[in-house]
Every structure is written in C-alpha cells, then in structure tokens.
C-alpha cells in the first residue's frame, strides 16, 4: 500500500531535497512529535534547532487540544496510507472543529502540499476523525513564527480528486 508521499513523488521537485534537508526534516518532525506528546526530545544540531523553535512558537500558542500525533493511517477504500503530523483543536476554532497540520521545513511552498493534506484529511475521515480544515506549517530557519498555509478556502474534494488521479497513475505504472 503506497504512502501519500510516494504517490505524489513523481511530481515533487527533488532538486531541493538534499540528504541534509531530508535528515533535518526527519529530525525536526521527531522533535515536534516528542514535544507534542510531552516526551523528551534529543537536542538538534545548531542549524536545525531554529526550525524546532519555530514549531514551538506556533504550537505552544495555537494548540488547544491534541487529537493525534504522527500515527500511520490506511485507506482501505482507496488503497494508500499516510502519517499526518497532527490533528488538533486549535485555539479559536472551538466552534469549528479540528485541524490537520503538516510540518514543512523547506524554504518555499509547493503546489502539491494541499494535495498531500487532502489525502491525510481523507485518511482521518475514514477513521472517524472529521477535520474542518488542513494547513501546512512552514517552519522558519531563523526560529521565528512559521508561515501558515491554510487550505480551508480550497475545495477539499477537488484537491482530493487530483491526489486520487495521482494514485490511479501510480497504480497504472506499478501494474504495467
């Protein structure tokens, strides 16, 4: 069963994904998950620590209630899996519902981010967790407040359909 990232892989610009960038992203994601679960997190290299500081600036003031942190989910309906970074109730959203958040440690944004978030929202929905919106949280290399890409005004079903088109292509190539 392929992951959301594997499905989107052929369309992700790989030039910016150096080994160092991948290692940084993995380490920052692990530290963020530990922080959210109240666990000890190992220290990060000096160049990576500001990304974690950026995450904490946002998380510590934005999250009201944590629902899920880094859990692998599977869609038996569509045949893919993924691991959302966070599902939570954010402060100020008490009357609206939960948000699915995905951490990003790159320099810029990417067109495929909302597709990935839509795929994760579908996974959450299939496991009984309804989300009111999805966001990408681009952590900053200087430790400042991250940039939030809020997809609540994008048509969720359209983003999911584009992702599912990628899944059809993935399955076609795999079975050809």
Predicted pLDDT at 73: 98
Predicted pLDDT at 164: 98
Predicted pLDDT at 103: 98
Dihedral angle over CA of 93, 94, 99, 104, nearest 10: 50
- Ordered DSSP codes for 34-100: HHHTT---PPPPTTTHHHHHHHHHHHHHHEEEEEEES--EEETTTTEEE--SEEEEETT-TTT-EEE
Predicted pLDDT at 141: 97
Q: What is the mean pLDDT of each run of 10 residues along the chain (176 residues)?
A: 95 82 94 97 94 98 98 98 98 95 92 97 97 97 97 94 98 92
Report how far residue 165's alpha carbon sits from residue 115's, in angstroms, rounded to the nearest whole number. Answer: 11
Specify the number of domains making up the chain. 1
Q: For residue 128, what are the domain limits?
A: 4-9+16-175
Predicted pLDDT at 18: 86
């Amino acid at each position: 069963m392929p992951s959301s990232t594997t499905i989107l892989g052929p369309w992700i610009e790989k030039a910016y994904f150096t080994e160092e960038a991948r290692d940084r992203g993995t380490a920052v994601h692990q530290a963020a998950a530990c922080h959210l679960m109240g666990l000890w997190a190992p220290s990060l290299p000096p160049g990576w620590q500001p990304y974690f500081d950026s995450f904490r600036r946002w998380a510590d003031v934005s999250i009201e209630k944590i629902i899920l942190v880094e859990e692998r989910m599977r869609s038996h309906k569509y045949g893919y899996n993924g691991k959302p970074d966070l599902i939570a109730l954010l402060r100020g959203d008490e009357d609206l519902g939960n948000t699915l958040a995905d951490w990003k440690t790159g320099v810029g944004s990417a067109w495929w981010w909302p597709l990935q978030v839509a795929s994760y929202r579908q996974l959450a929905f299939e496991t009984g967790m309804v989300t009111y919106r999805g966001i990408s949280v681009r952590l900053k290399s200087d430790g400042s407040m991250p940039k939030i890409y809020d997809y609540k005004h994008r048509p969720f079903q359209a983003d999911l359909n584009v992702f599912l088109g990628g899944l059809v292509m993935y399955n076609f190539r795999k079975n050809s």
